Amino acid sequence: MKKTKTQRFKETLGIDIGTHSVKVVHLKKLHDGFKLLNYEIRPTMPQGVEYIPSDLRAERYAPVLIEILKTLHISPKTVKHLVSSVGGDNTSIKQIKTIFLPDDELESALFFEAKKHIPISGSDMVLDYQVLSVEEKTNNMNILLAATTKELLNEHTNVLVSAGLTPNLVDIDSLAVTNSFALNAFVEDGVYVILNIGAHRTNMVIWGPDSKLFARDIPYGGYHFTRDIMRRRNLEWDAAENHKFQWGLEDDPGAASKQTISMLDISEKNTEDLIVEEVRRALRFYVKEAGNSDYRKVCLMGGSAKLKGLCEYIQDKVNIPTEVFMPFINVEMPEKFQDKKDPQLALAIGLAMRME
């Protein structure tokens, strides 16, 4: 959302600093499209150390980023086009409609407008906007507002600077998620639900090529799936984590019978149900807000999209075709990466594909 300079460039770097893993995607710009040069995913905690969202501090990210750049043989000072993003409670995006305003009035008018729509205090707010369209009949403007706080932006910039990088474009997570999807899916008419399921939160975006964009974060992710397994199966964190990777939502045939587990489990809702509830609620809201319920697909991305059985579970409960999204349609993949398509990279790819 913040642009400090625009340059011509041949290569681009997308950096997604997640609380669980840092993801970096290095693309080469082709005449038409992109080619994957390399990528790296690295956890923010040392191997075997439990991930606890409240323990995570921004100082952890720069050393991980430095290691990734070394592995990718990228010297930070030579990076010309870098796109990264911020997310969470202190970010917000909202699509609004206003009467037509000329360019010179737009910025100040939108600042006041944003204060009405965006839950960030005015003096702390950094605002960006994009005019999506001007309606022919009414002359009304459809505008996408994106806001964050100065503090969050500073914290993010510090991580990049500590890794030797020069911050350039900074996006908002849910916009990067939408970008990744819009540029890499066969999008027809209708409305799509995108869920970027991370470690402690899920970015939910509801969007269609001719329909309003709605974004909201759901406060659940991979961390909560691990906690469910710890609770249900009475396992320590590392055993639960192993169980999660091996079995996901499926039952380990060697473990206690399903009936015993569900009897123990009666008092608390599972993470998958909490996510489904939030999605259903958002879909109902969207119909009222956007007047469109032509839902075509739910697309899962992020590390927890790989959780076995989750895609099928969501499809069954939400009743919309659901798939794990592989963000590589418009990114040429060299042979050595062909079997390494990974939905955990989706956001970083959306960032790397952003031009300005």
Ligand X SMILES: Nc1ncnc2c1ncn2[C@@H]1O[C@H](COP(=O)(O)OP(=O)(O)OP(=O)(O)O)[C@@H](O)[C@H]1O
The residue (of 18 and 167) whose beta carbon lies closer to Mg ion is 18
- Tokens found for residue 251: 């039952």
**Cβ closest to Mg ion, residue 198 vs residue 327:** 198
Report the chain's terminal Cα–Cα distance, integer Å: 9
Q: Does 20 bind ligand X (CB under 6 A)?
A: yes
* From 14, 18, 208, 350, residue interacting with ligand X (rule: CB under 6 A): 18
Q: Is 343 in the site for Mg ion (CB under 5 A)?
A: no
Which one-letter amino acid corresponds to residue 186? F
Phi, psi (deg, nearest 5) at residue 200:
-120, -5
CB 202 within 8 Å of CB 279: no
- CB of 12 or CB of 44, closer to Mg ion: 44
β-pairing verdict for 11-17 and 21-30: antiparallel
| Shorter beta-carbon distance to ligand X: residue 167 or 198 | 198
Q: Which is nearer to ligand X, 187 or 324 (CB)?
A: 324
List binders of ligand X among 242-271 (CB under 6 A): 244-245, 248
In the complex, least distance from residue 98 CB atom to ligand X, rounded to whole angstroms: 32
The answer to whether residue 198 forms part of the interface with Mg ion (CB under 5 A) is: yes
Q: What tokens does 15 get? A: 């950096």
- Taking the CA atoms of 99, 101, 105 and 110 in sequence, report the sign of the dihedral they define: positive
Name the segment binding ligand X (CB under 6 A); options: 263-271, 272-280, 283-291, 297-305: 297-305
Contact flags string 199-238 toward ligand X, x per CB under 6 A: xxx-------------------xxx---------------
CA–CA dist 255, 252 (Å, integer): 5
**Given 1, 14, 18, 62, the residue binding Mg ion (CB under 5 A):** 18
| Shortest Å, Cβ 25 to Mg ion | 13
156 binds ligand X (CB under 6 A): no
Alpha helices in the chain (DSSP H): 61-71, 103-117, 150-162, 173-184, 222-233, 237-247, 258-264, 271-290, 310-318, 346-352
* Residue 12 binds which of ligand X, Mg ion, none (CB < 5-8 A, kind-dependent): none
* Residue 80 backbone class (left: φ over 0; alpha: ψ -120 to 50; beta: rest): alpha
| Residue 90 touches which of ligand X, Mg ion, none (Cβ within 5-8 Å per kind) | none
Q: Helices 237-247 and 222-233: crossing angle, nearest 10°?
A: 110
What the block records as the tokens of 92 is 């917000």
By CB under 5 A, name the binding residues for Mg ion: 18, 198
Residues that bind ligand X (CB under 6 A): 18-21, 198-201, 221-223, 244-245, 248, 302-304, 306-307, 344
